[in-house]
A and B are shown apart, each in its own frame.
Chain A
């Protein structure tokens, strides 16, 4: 099962849990109305990370991209049995549990393994699927490797932080275990003979083998307890009534073996349609969506960041009075703090942290976080720009009777902006690239879209090459445009 645990994510989780424990658990433990709430809403929001076929992945159905897979089928069954509509929300695997705890989603089904650590934070249903591990190898090596023990002196790859990764380390000797974040990357490494095998879940292995003639699967023979290879649906802690209702569906799925009989074959069909045409051109819509979102985020963030930057820079230059001094200190502290923390953490904090108070969509959260971040940097550019305007300009304006506000607005700022235009342009171009960070909260910008195309098509490099070109075209066009405007301003 996937169990990637980036350190700060764990921290984030603890933090959010801590805060939410203070604010919400008391209420939900006392009276569990989780089931009633979902039924009243009429929708069950399922969070999933659609880069893990055949569990969940994106497929193009009648020209529209859709999240499909056996987990979605499980979710649909649960929703149907509850008499509500299923809404699927995609986000990175790392963000799923936090999203659950902060109420962004009602349920998480994402090939998730109910480990004791996770059980501390969320409630799980019964197991709906019992998996196992295979090792994928190159077909040409078929005679050489039999199971995990045949890789002495060789290298096995596995997803970093996953159960497979840990078990491969524990249960082999003389074998190097190489970790990578995505399965697509691992397959790529396998095909270029950097590694000799990839440990992954059986259904995934089957999907890869079915879609790539060069590959073959062998049993792993890892010694594992059942709970290490099982998948369950997760709900917020304390939603007993909801879990109980979902368990009814899960038990039915188990009893009738729906996963193997219906869900996996159906997922396989989608995979086939996906991989019939793996040319990048076929996925132009996915990339276009990526470009759209990347540009929306960048343009909005620069716009709001600029406004915030102007306000912050003015606040940082306020002099006199207790109020103004306090304002100055606040603005300075803000700028220092933002510049001293990673944008990724800020994005997570806005989405999940603010999410405790107001439920903001991922795109809005992303724009807010990046604007807040960008504002701090732009404030410093503007401050520099204002300081670069000769004092004589201010004196001339003041001597004409203009107030300090009017002087700033009509005389100093226009000149300051002209001076810092190149820096602002650079900030814009940087943001085109850095906006990719919001992919972690599931905004479908370029990086997020390329990861989806990668897992959908089983092609590791082509989508990366495509977005590299797209990014370059975007930044190059932007810098040409900015240069053009800069030259026009110089003529004045």
Chain B
């Protein structure tokens, strides 16, 4: 048995009276691709943000490579966050920097990589997402699909062990969804460990190792994509699937 890279134990999170995550215990093994699906407002984003401590859990444990993030000091949390790349629905590129500078910033300021090395690495990553010709462009001049691919390259620049995606294609025009999913699929093939929140069922079916169905603050089902889509166990999942597959 390989050791899990992420282990969540009895995770709970509430905002005031709003109990968003109730009791979640799951694990992610190295190289696995997990797709998290579920109804809107079910806590998927909150869950993902608890994994890299952008949101601090109310109780429970989030272990990354054997260390419980919730007990660590800021410095160590920052170090571990490097190893978890995150891609947001709204891209969140830095608008005052060029594409190249966006990618180089963290390696240079956090890992203190020298400029030449960082530039070289950034160009390689841009080639990987097919955008090397846009290296000197500013984010505002990019299409949504291009911006999201830059965001993926930026996260990969820190050489992460895990990539977290929060609805990376939801803000895109339909014709651009494909180019982003292709990049993600490519990543998965290379063996990257990924946790992806998405509504793209096609991606879930073809790429995911496991599907986690999340609703009402719990992971209601944890299954292979084939099993989950052909034979959902809970009424909650059946209801959800009937709505989106209509």
Contacts and interface: CB of A to CB of B under 8 A. Distances in A.
Given A395-B54, A406-B109, A492-B138, A400 B155 contact: yes
| Number of chain A interface residues as a range | 20 to 34
Contacts, number: 69
Interface stretch (B22-30, B92-100, B218-226): B92-100
Contacts of B52: 399
B117 interface: no
B125 interface: no
Nearest to A399: B86
Contact of B81 (A398, A410, A411, A418): A398
Interface string B76-97: 0011011111101010111110
Contacts of A393: 92, 94
Contacts of B82: 400-401
A396 interface: yes
A402 B74 CA distance: 11
B92 A401 contact: no
Contacts of A415: 94-96
Q: Is the interface of A mostly helix, strand, loop or mixed?
A: helix
A170 B119 CA distance: 85
A477 to B, nearest CB: 27
A414 B96 CA distance: 8
A392 B92 contact: yes
A392 B74 contact: no
Interface string A379-406: 0000000000010110111111111101
B54 A399 contact: yes
Given A400-B110, A401-B79, A411 B94 contact: yes
Q: Is the interface of B mostly helix, strand, loop or mixed?
A: mixed
Contacts of B65: none
A410 B107 CA distance: 13
Interface residues of B, number: 29
A121 B53 CA distance: 65
Nearest to A409: B109
B88 A392 contact: yes
Given A402-B106, A406-B109, A415-B96, A395 B78 contact: no
B85 A399 contact: yes
A402 B90 contact: no
B98 to A, nearest CB: 9
A230 B94 CA distance: 73
Interface string B107-118: 001100000000
Given A395-B54, A398-B54, A410-B109, A403 B96 contact: no
B155 A403 contact: no
B88 A402 contact: no
B44 interface: no
Interface of A: 390, 392-393, 395-404, 406, 410-411, 414-415, 418, 492
The 4 A-B residue pairs with the shortest CB-CB distance, nearest first, are A401-B82, A396-B92, A400-B106, A399-B86
22 contacts: A395-B54, A395-B88, A396-B92, A396-B94, A397-B94, A398-B81, A399-B54, A399-B155, A400-B106, A400-B155, A400-B158, A401-B79, A401-B81, A401-B82, A401-B83, A401-B158, A402-B106, A406-B109, A406-B110, A410-B105, A411-B94, A492-B96
